[in-house]
A and B are shown apart, each in its own frame.
Chain A
Amino acid sequence: MSVLQANCPSCAAQIEFTKGSTIVLVCPFCRSAVSRSDRKLEDLGKVAEILDSQSPLKIGLKGEYFGQRFELTGRAQLQHSLGGFWDEWYANFGNGWVGWLAEAQGKFYMTFYQPLSPGEQVPDFDYLQVGQAISFANNAFVVAEKSVATSLGADGEIPYKLVPNERNSFADLQGKDNAFGTIDYSSNPPFVFVGKEVTLADLGMANARPAERKAASVATEGLGCPNCGGPINLQVPDKSERVTCPNCDSLLDCTQGKLAWLKSLQPSPDEHKFDLNIGAEGTFADGKKMKILGAVVRSVTVEEIKYFWHEYLLYNPSVGFRWLVHSDNHWNFVEPVNLAEVTSSGTNVSFSGKTYKIFQDASAVVEYVKGEFYWRVEAGETVRSIDYVKAPLMLSTEITGSEINWSIGKYTTLADIEKAFGISDLPKPWNVAPNQPFGGWFYVKYGFAMLGILLIVSLFMIPFTGIGSTVLNESVTLQPVVAPAVSQIAFSKPFDIKANRNVQITASAPVNNSFIELDIDLINDKNDEVESVTIPIEFYSGVDEGESWSEGGTSKDVAMSSLPAGKYTLRIEGTWQNSQQPIPVTVKVEQGITRGFNFCCAFIILLLLPIVNLIRYWLFESSKWSESMFSTSGSSSESGDDSDDSDYSEE
C-alpha cells in the first residue's frame, strides 16, 4: 500500500497514512482507530489516550539498528494481565523492514516478524510451559512468560489491525546473547517475532533522555486515599499498580492513576519494621541514584519455622527496577538476569562462567507490603523460590505457573548500604549469609604468597648461610687436677674468623658415665674482646632390669651469631668428673653453618595467620551451610552440615 490522504470516517478530519506498511492510523483529532484496506477506510472505534510513561522515546524519533535507519511512527500501549503496561513502538525502516521496539520496565527489545519455515510449528498456548526450550529459525529460546495482554491505547500509525481493548495471549522468549522473542497468539497460526534486547545507545538514541520525573502528589479529595482521605505521594504514577496508604495502612489499586481501596492491611509487627524508608534515595556502585518505591516482608517456612526477610523495590527511570534484599541484617543488591543464560547441571546451575550451588528451595510468601509496586502485589502471594550461591553472588529464580524469573544478588556490606543511603547505625548481622564472602582470604592468599617469597629468599641466601667452612679443628689435653671442683685451662692456636658468618663450636670428649663442662672463650687477639659459651658434655649408660640404656653423648655443639672479623684464640676451661685422669678434648670451630632455626621461626610466624584463617573459613562455611536445606555438594541434607569437604571458593 502507499501513502494515503483521506478523511477520518469518524470526525471527517484529514488524516494521512505516511507509511506504506501502515494498516491502522489513530486519528489525532478524535482518537478513532482508522483501518485501511484496498477498498475503504474503517472506523475500529475509539482508543484510549496513551498513558504518560515518561518514555525517552517519541513518535518521529530516528535511530539506527545494524546500520539500517528507522523512524518511530506509531506507538501501541498494552496492559499486562497482572497489571502494569508497556509500550510497543512501531519502527519503520528505510529499507522496508518493519520492527517493533518494545519498552518495558526500563528495558528495550527490538523484534521483527519471523516467518516460520515449512514444517515449523508453534506450540499451542495452553501447552506452552514456562522454562520450556523452544527454537525458531535456528534461534534457541526459553519461555520466560506466558500471559494475556490488553490493547490499552495507541498513537500514530500501526502496521496491524489494532482493536481497542482486545485481549490476546502472548509468550515472551529469552535466548542467549540478549536474544528475545515473542509469540503473539492473536492469530492462527500465531505470529512469531524475534530480535534482541537493546540499549538506546545500540539504536543511536543515547541522547534520548526520560523526562524529569516529578512525584505526583495526590492530595485532592478525588485522588486521596479512598479509605481515609489522606494524601498519597505516588513516585511513579505511570507504572504503579499497587500502593499502600501510609495513613491508614490500606492497600490501594492505582491503575491508570486512579486509586481504589482493596483492603486494610494487617499492621506490620514490630519485628517487620523496615530499616529503610519509602522514598529514600540511595547511590549505588555505578553512581546511579535509585529511589525506594516499596517494601515487602516475605517469608519461607522450613520445618515449621517461619523465616522472614525484607525486600525493597528500587527504581530509576534509566535503569528500571532493582531490589535490595535485607535478610538477617545482611544486604543484597539484586538485578534481573536473562534466564536463557542460566544452564542447569544437576541440582546446581551455571551462569556467566560460574557454577552456583543450590542453597534453598522453598515457597516464598508475601506477608506484608508498604509503598508502591509495578505489579498487583498481594499479601499471601506465593512463588517457588530457589537460591543458588557462589559468594558474593546469589542466583535466584522465582517460578509461578505463568512466569519464571531469574535474578542475581550481590552481597553488599552494611557499610556500603549506610554509605549509599547516607545513614548510620543499621543493625549488624549476627550470622553468616548464604552468599557472604569469607573476609579472611586476603590473609590466606598473601600469607602463603609471603611463605613462597621466604622460600625463594632462603634459596638465594644459601651462599651466605649454607656454605660452611672449618676454621679450627684442634685437640688439647686437660691435665689432671686435685679435685673435681677445680678447673683446668688450655689454649688453642690462633685462627681467623670472618665477619658476617655464624660460628659453631663442636666439642667432644671421651666421657663414659661421667661429665665434663667446658667454658670456652673466643678471645679476639686484637682487642681482647671475649665471646663465651658453655658446652656441657655428659654420657651415661647402663643396664636396668635387663634393658640397656644410655643418655647424652660424647660431643656437643653450640652456635652463636657472627663475630667481628679477626684473629681469635680459644680459651678452654674444663671441669670434669674424673679429674684425677687427663682428658683429651677436641674442639672444632666452623663458620657459615646452615642451622635453619631462623628460617623455621620466620616460616612459623608467617604460617600462623593463614592457618588461623583457614580454620576460620572452615567454621564460616560450616555455619553458612548449616542454614541450608542442601549440602555443599548440592544434595539434599537433613543436617546440612557437611562443609568439611566443601570446595566452595570466593571472589
Chain B
Amino acid sequence: MFKKLYLIFGIGVIFFYSTSAWFGWELANDGKNSRLGVPFIGGGFRGGK
C-alpha cells in the first residue's frame, strides 16, 4: 500500500513539475498580487488585485 502511495506521490511530483514548467509557475515567486494563486516562497500572498 505504502509503495503504491509512494509511486503516486513521485509521479505527482513529476506531474506538478511538468505542469509548472508548462504554465510558467514559479515556486520561488516574488510577486505579491498575482491572481494565479500558485504557491510562493519569496514574495508573499498572491491574491487578486
B10 contacts A461, C-beta separation under 8 Å:
no
- Contact A592 to B13, CB < 8 A, known contacts A530-B49, A531-B31: no
CB-contact partner of B32 in A443, A461, A503, A533, under 8 A? A533
Among A173-181, A301-309, A310-318, A595-603, the one that faces the other chain is A595-603
- Contact A560 to B27, CB < 8 A, known contacts A446-B6, A606-B10: no
Give the docked Cα–Cα distance between A560 and B29 (Å): 5
Which chain B residue has the least Cβ–Cβ distance from A502? B24
A606 contacts B31, C-beta separation under 8 Å:
no
Give the docked Cα–Cα distance between A27 and B25 (Å): 96
Residue of B29, B30, B49 ringed by the most chain A CB atoms within 10 A:
B30
CB neighbours (8 Å) of A562 from chain B are 23-25, 36
CB-contact partner of A532 in B6, B27, B28, B32, under 8 A? B32
B16 contacts A602, C-beta separation under 8 Å:
yes
Q: Is A528 an interface residue (CB 8 A)?
A: yes
A595 contacts B28, C-beta separation under 8 Å:
yes
B14 contacts A532, C-beta separation under 8 Å:
no
A458 contacts B30, C-beta separation under 8 Å:
no
CB-contact partner of B28 in A453, A534, A559, under 8 A? A559
Which chain A residue has the least Cβ–Cβ distance from B36? A561
A465 contacts B21, C-beta separation under 8 Å:
yes
Q: Is A457 an interface residue (CB 8 A)?
A: yes
0/1 string, B8-44, CB within 8 A of A gives 1: 0011011011101111111111111111101001110
B31 contacts A500, C-beta separation under 8 Å:
no
CB neighbours (8 Å) of B49 from chain A are 528-530
B13 contacts A605, C-beta separation under 8 Å:
yes
A528 → chain B closest CB, angstroms: 7
Give the docked Cα–Cα distance between A450 and B49 (Å): 39
CB neighbours (8 Å) of A501 from chain B are 24
Which chain A residue has the least Cβ–Cβ distance from B11? A450
CB-contact partner of A458 in B17, B31, B46, under 8 A? B17
CB neighbours (8 Å) of A443 from chain B are 3, 6
A533 contacts B31, C-beta separation under 8 Å:
yes
CB neighbours (8 Å) of A502 from chain B are 24-26
CB-contact partner of A447 in B10, B17, B26, B35, under 8 A? B10
Q: Is A563 an interface residue (CB 8 A)?
A: yes
How many pairs of residues, A versus B, come closer than 8 Å at their CB atoms?
116
- Contact A597 to B26, CB < 8 A, known contacts A533-B32, A533-B43, A609-B6: yes
A598 contacts B43, C-beta separation under 8 Å:
no
Give the docked Cα–Cα distance between A464 and B32 (Å): 24
CB neighbours (8 Å) of B38 from chain A are 561
0/1 string, A606-641, CB within 8 A of B gives 1: 100100000000000000000000000000000000
Which chain A residue has the least Cβ–Cβ distance from B35? A529
Residue of B13, B14, B24, B25 ringed by the most chain A CB atoms within 10 A:
B24
Q: Is A442 an interface residue (CB 8 A)?
A: yes
CB neighbours (8 Å) of B34 from chain A are 531, 560-561, 563
Which chain A residue has the least Cβ–Cβ distance from B48? A529
B7 contacts A446, C-beta separation under 8 Å:
yes
CB-contact partner of A461 in B13, B22, B26, under 8 A? B22
A454 contacts B24, C-beta separation under 8 Å:
no
Residue of A529, A560, A598 ringed by the most chain B CB atoms within 10 A:
A560
- Contact A464 to B21, CB < 8 A, known contacts A446-B6, A609-B6: yes
CB-contact partner of B13 in A533, A560, A591, A606, under 8 A? A606
CB-contact partner of B17 in A457, A503, A531, under 8 A? A457
Give the docked Cα–Cα distance between A501 and B23 (Å): 7
CB neighbours (8 Å) of B42 from chain A are 558
CB neighbours (8 Å) of A606 from chain B are 10, 13-14
CB neighbours (8 Å) of B33 from chain A are 530-532
- Contact A461 to B25, CB < 8 A, known contacts A532-B32, A561-B34, A561-B38: no
A446 contacts B23, C-beta separation under 8 Å:
no
Give the docked Cα–Cα distance between A442 and B10 (Å): 13
B27 → chain A closest CB, angstroms: 5
Give the docked Cα–Cα distance between A602 and B14 (Å): 7
Give the docked Cα–Cα distance between A562 and B19 (Å): 12
Q: 21 A-B contacts, Cβ less than 8 Å apart?
A: A443-B3, A457-B21, A464-B21, A465-B24, A500-B22, A532-B33, A558-B31, A558-B42, A560-B26, A560-B31, A561-B25, A561-B26, A561-B31, A561-B46, A562-B36, A564-B35, A591-B24, A597-B26, A599-B17, A602-B17, A609-B6
What is the interface of chain B, defined by CB distance below 8 A to chain A? Answer: 3, 6-7, 10-11, 13-14, 16-18, 20-36, 38, 41-43, 46, 48-49
> Which are the 8 A-B pairs with shortest beta-carbon distances?
A562-B24, A560-B31, A558-B30, A461-B21, A602-B17, A450-B10, A532-B32, A597-B28
- Besides A461-B18, A461-B21, 8 other CB < 8 A contacts? A532-B32, A534-B32, A559-B26, A560-B34, A561-B25, A561-B36, A598-B20, A606-B14
